Amino acid sequence: MKSYLSVRNLNVRLKSGPVILRSVSLDVAAGQVHGLVGESGAGKSMIGKAVLGTLPRALEISSGEIWLDGTNLLTLSPAERRRRIGVTAALIPQDPLTALNPSKRIGPQITRRLVDILGWTKADAEARARELLDEVHIPNPDRVMRSYPHELSGGMRQRILIASAFAAEPKLIIADEPTTALDVTVQKQILRLINEMQTRHGTALLFVTHDLGVVSKVCDTLSVLYAGKVIEDARMHRFFMRPIHPYSRALLAATPTYTDPTGSLTPVPDAVIATVEEEVRLHDMRAGT
Amino acid sequence: MMYEICDLRLSFPDMAHKPLLGAAPRIEVLKGLSFDVPKGAILGIVGGSGSGKSTLGRAMLRLIEPDSGSIKFDGTDITHLPEEKLRQLRQRFQMIFQDPMSSLNPRRRVGGIIAGPLRLHGLDNLSSRVDEALDMVGLPRTFALRYPNELSGGQRQRVGIARAIALRPDFILADEIVSGLDVSSQAQVLNLLGELVRELGLTLAFISHDLSVIRRLCNRVLVLHHGVIVEEAETSALFDAPQADYTRDLLAAIPLPDPYQSWK
């Protein structure tokens, strides 16, 4: 299967020295969903940002390759890279309220991308936006296009961002904790919508989340991260049935499930942390950093 | 009974629809809630965003005054009790906040943060009480000299717990205290809270949107939806045979870390 996104041995560090990502490799094929899981600070969002070229200024890619639809982004000039990313990739962000401009109506916020980056005419872009809002099950698209973000609910805003991400038919979408800010009932609708859209459009999806429950519902494959290093790479079913790495097992044991009446929760044991820390240390020694 | 709450109603002015002149219309947030919290109970309060669960919690601690109905704390009616009288009672009901970063003063050391309420209530032997509180939440005593930004999320939340229990209250309200934490620290904080409640014989109200966490900790659950109690039950009864449609929807929507869960 051809990978739309292929990250090879990606190393990211703070310009001042500390390492953020340690030789990360992963592949996402067309129509597939790859989950990135890990605790906060593990670097899962940074992978998405590195791909989209939106890393914070203090960070730099020290080595590695990012292949997006057959081109290694890191060999392109910055301007060319931005153009390629703009045409082939899109982001569904975490917080729909900060991602939308509060002082602009919804319509232009969806169409801007199409007009500015892809050179569509305004009329075509508006027709497309209406079609997309319909596709994400927004009733009365015309009214919503004229609304301001604050007039809409959180679930509605997230639907708009999903529509907007799919607008230019990107080959890759990166979803960074897209449902963390939502209620569980809304989360369920949104996750199903993302899955539905992604399957219909055959998009490759990189799904960043801290919630293993969500992973088991939307992902085909996943990587578990710790301190910027991939600890385990797995197909989804195999991971939940037979997690291999002790850290993966510990994460699963620490996740509360309402179906377990004893409700025993085991925090990640210190011994497991010591094991992964040792792996990270060995990696750094080999990498000579 | 720790709390007896009867027909509690509370509304806020709706400033978005305030006419230029005259009063703003009111939005009713709590629409006549009645329930009891027995001593020693761990009561879970669940609901979606905007269901009124935090408002209910704040009303129980009389951080806001309800419109009507009554709140009895350990037999005393505190519904409209004036602040001077409330202050004496406040030592007996404490709160742990959701976001430890914004509820711990970044410019004070942990010791000072925990001692704050103790000083306010005129207690003595501050440093030994602070040490004791740190011991109880499993933090080394040397942490008294640290600043909140030197601690991890889980450690900060322990400081929040230490500040609440240092006063030896009878009742603690915990409002979404683990929702900002990673699963690993979440497990630690939940285990700790469960142990402390049993050890100190506290009564706890635990507000959360996460039913999995509620099942782990609570022995009774209250489900709120749009300011109304849609269901109140023993924890096992609620999870084994949920009665209200909303509770069933809520349970069905939770993604379990299990690829074979039917989630349609």
- Condensed to tens digits (0 to 9), the pLDDT of residues A64-115 reads 999 999 999 999 999 999 999 988 999 999 877 788 999 999 999 999 888 9
Rounded Cα distance, B148 and B100, in Å: 9
Name every chain B residue with its beta carbon within 8 A of the beta carbon of A240. 257-259
The alpha-carbon gap from B119 to the nearest alpha carbon of chain A, in Å, equals 34
% pLDDT > 70, chain A: 98
Q: Do B250 and A252 touch (CB under 8 A)?
A: no
**Which residues 6+ apart lie within 8 Å of A121 measured at CB?**
A115
CB contact under 8 A, B182 and A217: no
The CA distance from B103 to A135, in Å, is: 42
Number of H helices, E strands in chain A: 12, 10
pLDDT of A116 > 80? The answer is yes
Starting at the earlier edge strand, list the strands of the sheet with B42-46: B93-96, B171-175, B203-208, B42-46, B220-225, B228-234
Size of interface A-B (CB pairs under 8 A): 106
- The answer to whether residue A288 scores a pLDDT higher than 80 is no
pLDDT at A145: 94
CB A71 within 8 A of CB A85: no
- The CA-atom distances, in angstroms, between A25 and each of A8, A10, A123, A225, B238 are 4, 6, 42, 11, 45
Query: What is the C-alpha separation between B256 and A262, in angstroms, rounded?
Result: 16
- Look at A236 and B259 and tell me if their CB atoms are within 8 Å: yes
Instruction: Collect all residues of chain A within an 8 Å Cβ-Cβ radius of residue B190.
Output: 256, 265
SS3 of residue A164 by DSSP: helix
Average pLDDT for A157-175: 92
Q: What is the pLDDT of residue A75?
A: 95
% of chain A at pLDDT higher than 90: 75
Mean pLDDT to the nearest integer, A194-212: 94
Mean pLDDT of A211-234: 95
**Looking at residue A247, what is its pLDDT?**
95
Residue-wise pLDDT tens digits, B33-90: 999 999 999 999 999 888 999 999 999 999 999 999 999 999 999 999 999 999 989 9
Instruction: Tell whether A121 is within 8 A of chain B (Cβ).
Output: no
Higher pLDDT, B264 or B159: B159
| Cβ–Cβ gap A255/B257 under 8 Å | yes
Question: Model-level pTM?
Answer: 0.88
Say which of B190, B253, B258 has its CB closest to residue A184.
B253
Residue A289's pLDDT band, with cuts at 50, 70 and 90, is low
| Local confidence band at B121 (pLDDT 50, 70, 90 cut-offs) | very high
For residue B100, what pLDDT band results from cuts at 50, 70 and 90? confident
Instruction: Tell me the average pLDDT of chain B.
Output: 93
Judged against a pLDDT cut of 90, whether residue A143 lies above it is answered with yes
Where does the pLDDT of residue A265 fall: very low under 50, low under 70, confident under 90, or very high at 90 and above?
confident
Picking from B49, B248, B258, B260 by the largest number of A CB atoms within 10 A of its own CB, the best residue to mutate is: B258
Dist CA A136 CA A92 (whole Å): 14
The enclosing H or E element of B251 equals helix B245-253
Which positions in chain A touch B188 (Cβ < 8 Å)?
A: 267
pLDDT in tens, B221-264: 999 999 999 999 999 999 999 999 999 999 999 999 999 988 77
Name A17's Cβ contacts closer than 8 Å, sequence gap at least 6.
none
Give me the mean pLDDT over the A259-276 stretch: 84
| pLDDT surpassing 90 at residue A278 | yes
- A17 interface with B at CB cutoff 8 Å: no
Distance of residue A93 Cα from the nearest chain B Cα, in angstroms: 18
Inter-chain CB proximity B183 and A213 less than 8 Å: no
DSSP states of A220-266: SEEEEEETTEEEEEEEHHHHHHS--SHHHHHHHHHS--TT-TT----
Q: Any CB–CB contact under 8 A between A269 and chain B?
A: no
**Residue A263 confidence (pLDDT):** 62
List the single residue in A183, A255, A258 with the smallest CB-CB distance to B183: A255
Look at residue A1 in the predicted model and tell me its pLDDT.
54
| Number of other residues whose CB lies within 10 A of the CB of residue A281 | 11
Residues A139-166 have a mean pLDDT of 92
Asked if residue A153 has pLDDT above 70, the reply is yes
Cα–Cα distance list, A106 to A114, A138, A264, B110, B239 (Å): 14, 13, 46, 46, 41
Residue of A209, A241, A265 to mutate when probing chain B, most B C-beta within 10 A:
A265
The contacts of residue A215 (CB under 8 Å, 6+ apart) are: A35, A37, A207, A209, A222, A236, B257
State whether residue A241 sits within 8 Å of chain B by CB. yes
Which band of pLDDT confidence, cut at 50, 70 and 90, is reported for residue A180?
A: confident
B256–A259 CB contact, under 8 Å: yes
pLDDT of residue B137: 95
Mean pLDDT confidence for A263-275: 86
Residue B180 has pLDDT above 70, yes or no: yes
Closest CB to A212 among B190, B252, B257? B257
Residues in CB range of A98: below 8 A, 6 or more apart: none
Options 3.20.20.80, 3.30.930.10, 1.10.287.130, 3.40.50.300; CATH for A3-287 is 3.40.50.300
Maximum alpha-carbon separation in chain A: 61
Write out residues 163-192 of A within 8 Å (CB-CB) of B.
183-188, 191
Q: What are the structure tokens assigned to B169, written together?
A: 């209250």
For residue B250 the two structure tokens come to: 């809520």
* β-strand partners of A222: A35, A234
Cross-chain residue pair A240–B258, CB shorter than 8 Å: yes
ipTM at complex level: 0.84
